[in-house]
Structure 1
Amino acid sequence: MLDPAYLKKIEAYITSGDLAFDFENGDEDRKGLILDFLEQLMDLAELADETATQLIFKGSALEAFLRTNSDK
């Protein structure tokens, strides 16, 4: 399930300017697809960040503190 090569392809697509070019030169449908893709990617990044934090701090005092604060 882990595919670092695919993540590198996405990174290259964004950093190369190809994504921006495709957006600027795309029709409305293509622009919508790109924006939807980026939104989903950002949502996934938030989930990855939350998951990494949980995995790293699982069972720690910080986990208990964060759980307590989120209950408020």
Structure 2
Amino acid sequence: MFNEKFINELEKHLISGELEDIFKHSSEERRGEILDYLERIMELGDLADEVATKLIFAHSGLGNIYNSSPHK
């Protein structure tokens, strides 16, 4: 289901600055693709945070409050 190698490689590219270097030397079209990709990763991070919160608090009183909140 999950690919640990991919996640580790992505992290390495982000931490090392390699992605920034690639961005600097890319065409405008490729730069747009990179920014779109990073935006998608950020959206997935938000979604992962939401799902993790639900999983952590699913069987607690706080989970019941969270699941009934109109702001979820």
TM-score between the two structures when normalised by the length of structure 2: 0.88
Question: 1:48 & 1:37 partners in 2: Cα distance?
Answer: 16
Question: 2:70 & 2:15 partners in 1: Cα distance?
Answer: 35
AA in 2 matched with 1:29? E
AA in 1 matched with 2:46? E
Equivalence for 2:9: 9
- Cα RMSD of the aligned pairs, angstroms, is 1.2
| 1:59 to partner: Cα distance | 2.2
Question: 1:65 & 1:53 partners in 2: Cα distance?
Answer: 12
Uncovered stretches (5+) of structure 1, i.e. residues with no partner: none
| 1:13 to partner: Cα distance | 0.8
String of CA shifts for 1:5-64, please: whole Å, max 9, x gaps: 110000001111110011111110110010000000001111111111111110211112
Q: Is 1:63 equivalent to 2:56 in the alignment?
A: no
After TM superposition, the runs of 4+ consecutive aligned structure 1 residues lying more than 6 A away are: none
Equivalence for 2:22: 22
Uncovered stretches (5+) of structure 2, i.e. residues with no partner: none
Equivalence for 2:49: 49
| 1:67 to partner: Cα distance | 2.8
TM-score between the two structures when normalised by the length of structure 1: 0.88
Count matched residues: 71
Identity %: 38
